């Protein structure tokens, strides 16, 4: 697969909430950087991270509107959103959506780096309101 196809498959796995599929598309030394600059390292760290995130936002979606490719570096522009579900039950009053960009670096057919650029204040506010 080309780097673009690898990242598109990664996004498809995110939208399917397929943690096993996500991990299979990561390098062993995968690096995830969130919108606050916090970094998670390694497949197993990210397996736990995605499981927890999908539990908190069970309908999370990343909607790419534009793809930019420069060799192994892929950038997608679009929106991210879902429904904050602290108790696991859907409640549409807790839905959120925000503009988002993601940057990926592909190495040997796998995602080595995944960085999210998004203003996650909408979900942070929902979390604060429910605390």
Residue 87 clears pLDDT 90, i.e. is over it: no
Q: Convert the pLDDT of each residue in 21-36 to its tens digit.
A: 999 999 999 999 998 8
Residue 126 clears pLDDT 80, i.e. is over it: no
User: What's the confidence (pLDDT) of residue 122?
Assistant: 67
User: What's the confidence (pLDDT) of residue 128?
Assistant: 75
**pTM score, whole prediction:** 0.91
Give the count of domains, the chain: 1
**Could you tell me the residue range of the domain that residue 41 belongs to?**
3-130
Nearest to residue 60, comparing CAs of 69, 73, 49, 68? 49
Q: Convert the pLDDT of each residue in 63-80 to its tens digit.
A: 999 999 999 999 999 999
Q: Convert the pLDDT of each residue in 89-102 to its tens digit.
A: 777 788 889 999 99
- Contacts by residues 124-128 (CB-CB < 8 Å, ≥ 24 positions apart): 126/84, 126/94, 126/96, 127/84, 127/86
For residues 44 and 61, what is the distance between their CA atoms, to the nearest angstrom? 22
For residues 100 and 76, what is the distance between their CA atoms, to the nearest angstrom? 8
In CATH, what number is assigned to the domain containing residue 117? 3.10.450.50
């Amino acid at each position: 697969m080309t780097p673009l196809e690898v990242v598109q498959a990664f996004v498809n796995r995110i939208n399917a909430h397929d943690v096993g599929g996500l991990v299979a598309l990561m390098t062993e030394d995968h690096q995830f950087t969130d919108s606050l600059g916090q970094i998670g390292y390694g497949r197993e760290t990210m397996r736990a991270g995605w499981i927890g995130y999908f539990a908190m936002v069970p309908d999370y979606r990343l909607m790419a509107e534009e793809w930019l490719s420069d060799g192994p570096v892929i950038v997608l522009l679009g929106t991210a959103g879902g429904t904050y579900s602290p108790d696991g039950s859907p409640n549409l009053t807790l839905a959120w959506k925000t503009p988002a960009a993601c940057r990926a670096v592909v190495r040997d057919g796998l995602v080595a780096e995944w960085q999210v650029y998004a203003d996650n204040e909408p979900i942070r506010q929902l979390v604060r309101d429910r605390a």
